[in-house]
Amino acid sequence: MEYDRTDVAVDRLELLRAYGYGLCMGAADALPGVSGGTVALLLGFYGRLIAAVTAFTPRRAVAILRGYRPERRTRAREAVFELDLQFLLPLGVGVITSVVLIADIVSSLAESQPVAIFGFFTGLIAASAVTLGRSLEFDSPTRIGAAVVGATLALLVAADIVQLPGSGPIVIVIAGAIAVSAMILPGVSGSLLLILFGQYVFLSNELSAFVRAIGDLVGDGSLAAVIDPGTTVALFVVGGVVGLVTIARVVRTALARNRGLTLVFLVSLIAGSVPAPLHNIGETHAWTTETIAMTAAWAALGAIALFALEYLVGGFDPE
């Protein structure tokens, strides 16, 4: 007897598609330029993503966790579909896969080739500000004021005039909350904000160390080597969850009430963040003519890469 397994094949295809979406979104999230939210818009799943994220509530999470009890399984199954976990879980695995791979590359290059990697990031950020800003209108005093505030705020932080705390559990949680909530919004890259806050390299190093320590446990590694970077990763994840249920909702509300003004502020924040990666170069290199020329060359390459991507996908539109 033959059985029709078309339903399973379709389910597997959907899982694979969601995982592929996650890979693309994670790559964008891990690099300061195009945001994961913009990639979601371009690939056509942004509405589903936002619906699933905003459906997350503590009550639904508890309902799923209580699903081990027979009398609560029906409600747990309903909560799974309400949160669209059959989409979010493979998407999340794809995002994590990309972020881990890119974090390891960034961690290595930040040590060996800081001029190349951070010059490239500078070009990505500058080009993304240009591409996103093209579609916005600065046609009122309110919008111009929002643009000035956003750009000035980012420049003050990027220029180290406004000092942010260097590290610590609270800073990591806050960084996670802001960065992860930004990752699902069109326009602003979460990794860009981590660079602005001075946490990008630190968190990339910690994530890479955590993944390596987990891998070493299979051999002769020690559990102690997992704890320190694992604690940092856990704090970031906690902050990310908090950000998704708080900051992301606030920004979504602002976009719903005054989309144009909010986007002007967000894109101006990107524009003001252009100098932020240059501090990482200044920590290891004196600003000689050669260093400036090399940084400019890598920045140009980063800008060309983003403009080429914009051309291939038909343009980035934060709207």
Segment 155-165 mean pLDDT: 71
Residue 163 or residue 58, greater confidence: 58
| Window from 51-65, 91-105, 243-257 with minimum mean pLDDT | 243-257
Q: Two tokens at 256?
A: 């719903």
Q: How confident is the model at residue 64 (pLDDT cuts 50, 70, 90)?
A: confident
Q: Is the C-alpha dihedral spanning 107, 37, 156, 287 positive or negative?
A: positive
Q: How confident is the model at residue 315 (pLDDT cuts 50, 70, 90)?
A: low
pLDDT at 3 over 60: no
CA distance 210 to 232: 9
Segment 99-113 mean pLDDT: 88
Q: Give percent of the chain above pLDDT 70.
A: 90
Q: Two tokens at 120?
A: 């490239």
**Which residue type sits at 206?**
E
Nearest to 122 by CA among 306, 259, 290: 306
pLDDT at 5 over 60: no
Q: Where are the alpha helices (DSSP H) in the chain?
A: 6-30, 36-43, 46-54, 58-65, 73-82, 85-112, 114-133, 141-158, 169-183, 190-196, 200-216, 224-245, 247-257, 259-272, 278-282, 289-313
CA distance 196 to 121: 12
Count the residues in the chain: 319
Q: How confident is the model at residue 162 (pLDDT cuts 50, 70, 90)?
A: low
CA distance 138 to 261: 9
CA distance 231 to 157: 27
| Window from 94-98, 116-120, 204-208, 220-224 with minimum mean pLDDT | 220-224
In the chain, domain spans: 6-313
φ and ψ of 283, to 5 deg: -70, -25
Q: How far is CA 314 from CA 42, 183, 301, 319, in A?
A: 9, 21, 20, 14
CA distance 302 to 111: 19
Residue 164 or residue 199, greater confidence: 199
CA distance 58 to 145: 38
Q: What is the pLDDT of residue 135?
A: 79
Segment 90-104 mean pLDDT: 90
CA distance 258 to 256: 6
Q: How confident is the model at residue 186 (pLDDT cuts 50, 70, 90)?
A: low
CA distance 134 to 66: 49
pLDDT at 58 over 80: no
Q: How confident is the model at residue 20 (pLDDT cuts 50, 70, 90)?
A: very high
Q: What is the pLDDT of residue 301?
A: 95
Task: List, in order, residues 6 or more apart from 85 with CB less than 8 Å away.
Answer: 64
pTM of the model: 0.78
The three-class DSSP label of residue 33 is coil
Q: How far is CA 150 from CA 38, 91, 157, 264, in A?
A: 20, 31, 11, 8
Q: What is the pLDDT of residue 132?
A: 81
CA distance 60 to 146: 37
φ and ψ of 281, to 5 deg: -70, -45
Condensed to tens digits (0 to 9), the pLDDT of residues 259-285 reads: 888 888 888 888 888 888 998 898 889
